[in-house]
């Protein structure tokens, strides 16, 4: 009985390792594709970098803004004035 439980545990561990290993590999292969993607700093949606406006704040912080958010900001400014 104990041997069966041990074997089951071992199998379970093996399956888990395979599963996480697969996930890790999957992440690695999709990484190059995501290099050109960046999140908009306002709506947090992912876009291609070329679709975003990039602004440096201070010495190091880079912010990205998508077209929709910029249009919304522009509209907000219009309401104020």
63 contributes a contact to Zn ion by CB under 5 A: no
Please select the residue that binds Zn ion; options are 7, 13, 18, 43, rule is CB under 5 A.
43
Query: What is the helix (H) or strand (E) element at residue 39, kind and residue range?
Result: strand 37-39
Name the token pair of 2: 């104990």
Nearest approach in angstroms of CB 30 to Zn ion is 23
Residues in region 22-41 near Zn ion by CB under 5 A:
40
Are 16 and 28 within 8 A, CB to CB? no
Name the token pair of 35: 């290099």
51 contributes a contact to Zn ion by CB under 5 A: no
Give the number of other Cβ atoms within 10 Å of residue 52's Cβ.
21
42 contributes a contact to Zn ion by CB under 5 A: yes
- The footprint of Zn ion (CB under 5 A) covers 40, 42-43, 66, 69
């Amino acid at each position: 009985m104990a041997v069966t439980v041990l074997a089951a545990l071992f199998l379970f561990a093996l399956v888990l390792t395979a599963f996480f290993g697969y996930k890790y590999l999957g992440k690695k292969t999709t990484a190059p594709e995501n290099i050109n993607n960046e999140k908009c700093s306002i709506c947090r949606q992912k876009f291609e970098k070329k679709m975003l406006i990039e602004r440096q704040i201070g010495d190091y912080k880079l912010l990205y803004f998508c077209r929709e958010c910029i249009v919304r900001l522009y509209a907000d400014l219009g309401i104020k004035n």
